Structure 1
């Protein structure tokens, strides 16, 4: 059986990301379907919408994977949304979160069960908890770093409150609800029991019932019990006890008063420290140990999502966990409501490839109901659906055996690829989520010739030599010190245990092993390796050898044999004496090691270094390499050719919910790369003008020079086009202040999330307010506004080229919500602001009317003359996507040929051809617009901009006609020097970019 024997996989033509939350619900999305279909979108790309923590604005803090988020809508609302998609022939790509769940707030029933039942919980192996951690006080306990201060202070302030409800005791800490182990109810119910004895005769039924409950509590198996029969007994009996106790509480006022008084006594009296001894003793007996949130850095014993304490990792490698967390999503797949999946943070999983294969297998079963029906026609009466499902899965297994890379369901995986890295071949996914394209197309807009000059400008302004590689190395070490020390220490102890297995390595000290591990992780060139068996592929072998070699070079004083030992362990070079059990320990260590390197890279690089190294921040994007100053047109073509061959159905993104800046902000900042001389002069002038506006904090002017450099780029990139009202000015200043606060805390130089410096932060906000204040004597603001118009216009033109390249390059174009018009958003939460869809719907309807009334040429010319309102981007997107819908096979399967450009302006163009059989389309996307436009804020078009520059069209004879998708004009190739060409002065005479469809001769 081959993949060709299967029903075709639904492949999106273009996706549109929607961020669901309480402000944007299923009903809102339902109303958008017709508009998005008209725009040319084939599939909604939905953020997670399973039940998340109350108030979640992003949906990644899921508390139950098998329920829809009630804040987003009901099951009926979801049904209507899916029905509307089906009515318009549209699919749904759903974002799922297999790595972690939200465990704070008292809404996660599985986590609450674990806190009540400990290692004997039905979910003890569901969450990734080390029940035998390095800190012995946490043996068979879990650290909960949720307190805002030291435990003792919180306790004696009365912030931890014992509560009783529906027969169960719990401790409340603000929004947190922490169950009490039923066996320890004895301490509460037994307190002052002699006083209750005096109020009831010994044979009083309710008193006897209470004593029976206390006796039953004494006989409950402990939470450390592992015998399955006793665990079942414990679960059964504790619920019986709760029901009995709740009945007594409701029916007997004396017992109710007794319980309530005891609860009040346990809650203590602030100012009387001894009054909290009872509650303290009770808490010491629980499964959890409450602590100040800072303790998580060094002692946390559950795996998290990065360093976020509220998100606990789950063990997806366990089949039961996979089955339980995928019931609803697989049911949606079976019903045809979900036609594709996006897997969040695949690198966090213990074995990503294994998970993705299981996911494909499960989706294959659920989505192939037609196969199920065919088998049903030939089955015997005694056969049931279970046997039919087994037959379908057998078909899948046969398919994978013949074609290991078979992908019968459209799945993409969130994976950040570093320079030169490729998606693991063993992953059965169609692609990553598209960060690589976002960085490539931004790099194309950067003038690579000016790298050294920008180095000089940046280093001189900040008065420091900034080395990206060294900053990244230092920041990864900082992350391991201040945010993930606990994970690294645990890994170091694990490595120490392995070293004790052999007499040649047992003398390595724990401290030296931890230090060497830190160095190797800090030098790791990629997010992680993917070793999952005793075979190490060449790719992972090279990454590990590189990291160890670099760590050794940076630490000449350390014992080289320690690094050799770590390399041996990571590459599974077992000793002859290493037994089978020890080999499994080695492999498990490597698998755990691989789960740590990714979060360290993400926190150290994306969330720290990218806010410190600010040379040209358009390049500081997720998955980017800011030390590389853009890419050439040839390099961009090379990446497109490689994608066309290996991943022609890859997702292509330019803005996402994770991007540091929107596509339009990056496109405008990239213009600075063309004008280093002007940028240098602006910085010098602005630095002088604003020097007196800085406040001195601890002897230093605030903001520092690097933050000031970032601020100026941010203002230039995000300033809205057109005049600002007073309210708009206030809103913009507020957004910039919020962005700079986040940027500074992420940089961890003068303030941080862990140790915020309010005085410093207030000084920066004051500086922003002063330099943006609309006053006659504010020379900076006036100068900034004077410099903006040509920058804004060229940024818009860059953005149009970027959008066209995304739609026409090999792959599937993805649009982040609202970006069909200009979007000058910054990093989240700025990019989650509500989108004005009525404005977009009305703009599209107006364009449609104008197109019908005046024709495409008049519409295109009018938009090119006045692009500020964003309708030109909407028009380009609409027309190009509609054409792509009509010619989807051409874009999915068509060849990719870079086109040569000749003439004076040849360096300003990226052009290529897509063709399939007789269908062909030429893509013409200019770049480096500032030289074309000069100092004017006018769109450069026609001969004035392009002069005698010509596009060479290979394999065509003179007179071959092409039709412009945007203007409707027809152009015929001309013979020049024996080659068939098109004059760009005509092709780009009325619209700044071109999409030319080959048509029949008239």
Structure 2
């Protein structure tokens, strides 16, 4: 029987941190208290991959990590120390390139490839020139210009041919070789080569659905290539003839163009991808192609290794990447569950505020962003957030504030922008489908392509969740889906009154299956796969880098415009989780968070001192005014960028110039306000880099900054300890991201993927475990700068979970504890089962240590604080007494039971 994780520890595997490196820290992780190592994807990825999400083969283990042998050593070590393993898997997409033999086969053979059914490719787009072809947008300029300057050529390696285009290579269609081999046969006077040329030309092009003919084509092709290679080795004249022909082909632009037009792909300028790409991607990443994992043979082949590891108990569970990209997420989960009935399965499902994971998904839960936003929200002071709104608006000035401080409007506009640009090809495909649907309905047939395109963009931008889950083949739709679709179409109708409202009504009817049909069903499924990238690219990767009122709130699934969460709302969330998904993952930092949990915890303190923060940033802006550049468009950096910069310094201080520059450059490009990834504004970027460098060498500013950070640091630590303890005792399975067992002030990747100093952490754990005596908590707090208090909380909570997993499992109730007195709003307190109590403070700057008469009521019995060793009788306990020695309390009833 597989083991359900008690806790997980996430490691990022890459060529600088291999299976052997992971094995080397296994004993330390077990001693810390983690039950499972949670690994980033380690099937064969593209060369040099630092994350593993760009899989090129599902049949192999990543060689850069140590390959099969290294994997076996890791698994053996984990078994020796008693740890289980959870793996991150990627069912939605694969990476392109010659290392992906399946994709190479598709480029070579087109729709007749053995693997054409594996990828989500539109072989019959509206544009005739792209039918039965794959657009390959890899050229640095217009195709004709690159061809003219010799940037594309044909080359041979033994009996195989390929196209070289600006440093990359692509295969050639077997049938297209006839033009080369016929001429080469004439030059070499080889009858055999003439026969082979005709044979290549006669190869059929069956559709991929005709499996028998596709396999026959493959076999015939292999035989012909084998004969050609043998002929080349046996007759030098044949090789010479082929090479002379290729040389002539490469020197004749028209002939080379004709040869390239016979391929199953169309080489194109890289900028064409936004509007014309014929395959579904992972968001807007051209190098990641969508998989048709809903097809059973694709599922079986892409999951064979993982399912084998689960069956052999090498893996106890999996984390499923980007389930919203799947055509039918529920079907996928059911298939995975059927094949792995005992596995712990969580999914990277991003839930918007008020949204919960579908209860009919046969899985344990999400990867914890919903928890992250809930626990982060409860640490924010609502009145302070209101004050920060004014601070932000004043710092930006009237003109910028009008654009950037209306968050709902900003998010909507960024979603529209991304659907017009980066996701334009997806919109075009949906538009073509919906125009056909309109054409088949006489009441709707007069809507134009332009109207339909705008309507689709608007409805997607108005949808306030990542996607709905309507499944036409099962006639499956929930009231929740109907509500979201209705709200989105009404919103779209109100925003675009220049478009006939009837078009939006018809869109709603198709999306809710009031109007059905084969094409309608396909549109519904495609539209649902489209809205998730719109939300991800428009909000996650754009709006959340533009709206900076309190940047610590800007995580996926958040509402950075909200005023936080009340304690009652937080309790309601936890009770909901315990009732529906008690084994979901709880997390504070992941490989994808924009800021670590500790940075967010420190930034939350700003809500308690908004006016002081406002005064500080105005003062700093005056101090640094001489470092700003002037341009025709205004000051560089602009006020919004400068505002984010100061928050970043506060949250992550001490911060090196290199880290600050790298983060601010990425943030500015993601925001797409002054510069972007595809259109760098060098003048702005240079000015920003210089501004950062000079401010971090400016003693008056640094002194003032450090004094400000010293005022928020302690309260930030308390926030961190509060959310850390809650993470380990709230409903769910706590995950610890690599290195975050001590204070970690990392920013977005790649900053959060820096090398972890495990030797330092191992030593700190050993020293901490050696502490004993009445004053143990005080001695831990003396090491606060090193992060020992955080490690102490994690270690003690994990050991308790390991000793009594039943106290935190599906049967262990979540019960808010009664808090009374003058500071009730400053306490988060609850009971798990009947034996474990958590007490954590919030808003400690506002509290200023004045707990007054505030008490928390514990059930009868003797309670031991695992963090201090103190014991107490149940009943009304003074919070001041409870938290005197250590900022948070983990209480266990003596002789406790589940």
Normalised to the residue count of structure 2, the TM-score between the two structures is: 0.96
Q: Give the Cα–Cα distance (whole angstroms) in 2 for the partners of residues 174 and 74 of structure 1.
A: 31
Larger mean Cα displacement after TM superposition, 801-810 or 508-517? 508-517
Distance 1:867 1:494, change over 3 A: same
Q: 1:253 aligns with which of 209, 218, 236?
A: 236
Q: Give the Cα–Cα distance (whole angstroms) in 2 for the partners of residues 915 and 233 of structure 1.
A: 64
Distance 1:411 1:175, change over 3 A: farther
Q: 2:668 aligns with which of 744, 752, 757?
A: 744
Q: Counterpart of 1:814 in 2: which secondary structure?
A: strand
Q: Is the 8 A contact 2:56 2:95 kept in 1?
A: yes
Residues 416-451 of structure 1: CA deviation (Å, up to 9, x unaligned): 111111111221111011101111111111111223
Distance 1:805 1:188, change over 3 A: same
Q: Give the Cα–Cα distance (whole angstroms) in 1 for the partners of residues 394 and 55 of structure 2.
A: 47
- 2:358 maps to 424
Distance 1:228 1:784, change over 3 A: closer
Q: Give the Cα–Cα distance (whole angstroms) in 1 for the partners of residues 716 and 247 of structure 2.
A: 65
Q: Is the 8 A contact 2:184 2:242 kept in 1?
A: no
- 2:36 maps to 43
Larger mean Cα displacement after TM superposition, 661-670 or 923-932? 923-932
- 1:55 maps to 48
- 2:846 maps to 931
Q: Is the 8 A contact 2:108 2:173 kept in 1?
A: yes
1:356 has 2:333 as partner:
yes
Q: 1:32 aligns with which of 21, 25, 41?
A: 25
Q: 1:333 aligns with which of 305, 310, 318?
A: 310
Residues 638-697 of structure 1: CA deviation (Å, up to 9, x unaligned): 111111122111110100111110101111111111101101101111111112211123
Q: 1:244 aligns with which of 227, 238, 247?
A: 227
Q: 1:811 aligns with which of 728, 732, 739?
A: 732
Shift of 1:607: 0.6
- 1:543 maps to 484
- 1:687 maps to 621
Distance 1:139 1:923, change over 3 A: same
- 2:813 maps to 895
Q: Is the 8 A contact 1:106 1:175 kept in 2?
A: no
Q: Counterpart of 1:835 in 2: which secondary structure?
A: coil
Larger mean Cα displacement after TM superposition, 471-480 or 185-194? 185-194
Q: Counterpart of 1:708 in 2: which secondary structure?
A: helix
Q: Give the Cα–Cα distance (whole angstroms) in 1 for the partners of residues 489 and 633 of structure 2.
A: 41
Q: 1:279 aligns with which of 245, 252, 256?
A: 256
Q: Give the Cα–Cα distance (whole angstroms) in 1 for the partners of residues 158 and 316 of structure 2.
A: 42
Shift of 1:88: 2.7
Residues 447-479 of structure 1: CA deviation (Å, up to 9, x unaligned): 112232111111111111310100011000000
Structure 2 gaps of 5+ residues are: none
Distance 1:608 1:819, change over 3 A: same
Shift of 1:863: 2.5
- 1:733 maps to 657
Distance 1:929 1:161, change over 3 A: farther
Residues 884-911 of structure 1: CA deviation (Å, up to 9, x unaligned): 2112111113222212333344332211
Q: Counterpart of 1:71 in 2: which secondary structure?
A: helix
Shift of 1:699: 3.8
Q: Is the 8 A contact 1:950 1:981 kept in 2?
A: no
- 1:375 maps to none
Q: Give the Cα–Cα distance (whole angstroms) in 2 for the partners of residues 947 and 905 of structure 1.
A: 6
Shift of 1:195: 3.8
1:68 has 2:61 as partner:
yes
1:707 has 2:631 as partner:
no
Q: Is the 8 A contact 2:742 2:790 kept in 1?
A: yes
Question: How do residues 105-184 of structure 1 correspond to structure 2 at under 5 angstroms?
Answer: 105-173=97-165, 176-184=168-176
Shift of 1:996: 1.3
Q: Counterpart of 1:34 in 2: which secondary structure?
A: helix
Shift of 1:922: 1.8
Q: Give the Cα–Cα distance (whole angstroms) in 2 for the partners of residues 225 and 356 of structure 1.
A: 27
Q: Give the Cα–Cα distance (whole angstroms) in 1 for the partners of residues 571 and 167 of structure 2.
A: 53
Structure 1 gaps of 5+ residues are: 1-6, 198-206, 269-274, 365-407, 575-581, 721-728, 934-944, 974-979
- 1:798 maps to 719
Q: Counterpart of 1:924 in 2: which secondary structure?
A: strand
Q: Is the 8 A contact 1:861 1:991 kept in 2?
A: yes
1:615 has 2:556 as partner:
no
Q: Is the 8 A contact 1:622 1:658 kept in 2?
A: no
1:666 has 2:666 as partner:
no
Q: Give the Cα–Cα distance (whole angstroms) in 2 for the partners of residues 951 and 644 of structure 1.
A: 26
Larger mean Cα displacement after TM superposition, 180-189 or 244-253? 244-253
Q: Counterpart of 1:190 in 2: which secondary structure?
A: helix
Residues 208-252 of structure 1: CA deviation (Å, up to 9, x unaligned): 222221122222224668755543442222212211222232333
Q: Give the Cα–Cα distance (whole angstroms) in 2 for the partners of residues 954 and 670 of structure 1.
A: 29
Q: 2:879 aligns with which of 969, 974, 984?
A: 984
- 1:884 maps to 801
Q: Give the Cα–Cα distance (whole angstroms) in 2 for the partners of residues 311 and 734 of structure 1.
A: 30
- 2:91 maps to 98
Q: Counterpart of 1:624 in 2: which secondary structure?
A: coil
Residues 527-563 of structure 1: CA deviation (Å, up to 9, x unaligned): 1110113242211000000001111111223211111
Q: 2:419 aligns with which of 474, 480, 487?
A: 480
Q: 1:496 aligns with which of 419, 428, 435?
A: 435
Q: Counterpart of 2:578 in 1: which secondary structure?
A: helix
- 2:451 maps to 512
Distance 1:227 1:657, change over 3 A: closer
1:455 has 2:376 as partner:
no
- 2:468 maps to 529
Q: Counterpart of 1:125 in 2: which secondary structure?
A: helix
Normalised to the residue count of structure 1, the TM-score between the two structures is: 0.86
Q: Counterpart of 1:183 in 2: which secondary structure?
A: helix
Q: Give the Cα–Cα distance (whole angstroms) in 2 for the partners of residues 182 and 173 of structure 1.
A: 19
Q: Counterpart of 1:536 in 2: which secondary structure?
A: coil
1:648 has 2:582 as partner:
yes
Q: Give the Cα–Cα distance (whole angstroms) in 2 for the partners of residues 954 and 932 of structure 1.
A: 23
Q: Give the Cα–Cα distance (whole angstroms) in 2 for the partners of residues 879 and 866 of structure 1.
A: 16
Residues 138-172 of structure 1: CA deviation (Å, up to 9, x unaligned): 01111111222222232233332322124110112
Q: Provide the aligned length of Structure 1 versus Structure 2.
A: 888
1:211 has 2:203 as partner:
no
Q: Is the 8 A contact 1:106 1:176 kept in 2?
A: no
Distance 1:173 1:871, change over 3 A: farther
Distance 1:870 1:952, change over 3 A: closer
Q: Is the 8 A contact 1:879 1:966 kept in 2?
A: yes
Q: Give the Cα–Cα distance (whole angstroms) in 2 for the partners of residues 696 and 220 of structure 1.
A: 65
CA-based RMSD of the aligned residues comes to 1.8
Q: Is the 8 A contact 2:206 2:213 kept in 1?
A: no
Shift of 1:865: 3.4
- 2:301 maps to 324
Q: Counterpart of 1:761 in 2: which secondary structure?
A: helix
Larger mean Cα displacement after TM superposition, 961-970 or 225-234? 225-234
- 1:939 maps to none
Q: 2:691 aligns with which of 741, 754, 767?
A: 767
Q: Give the Cα–Cα distance (whole angstroms) in 2 for the partners of residues 338 and 968 of structure 1.
A: 37
Distance 1:224 1:999, change over 3 A: closer
Q: 1:846 aligns with which of 767, 780, 785?
A: 767
Q: Counterpart of 2:480 in 1: which secondary structure?
A: helix
Shift of 1:321: 0.7
Q: Is the 8 A contact 2:137 2:268 kept in 1?
A: yes
Q: Is the 8 A contact 1:144 1:291 kept in 2?
A: yes
Q: Counterpart of 2:85 in 1: which secondary structure?
A: strand
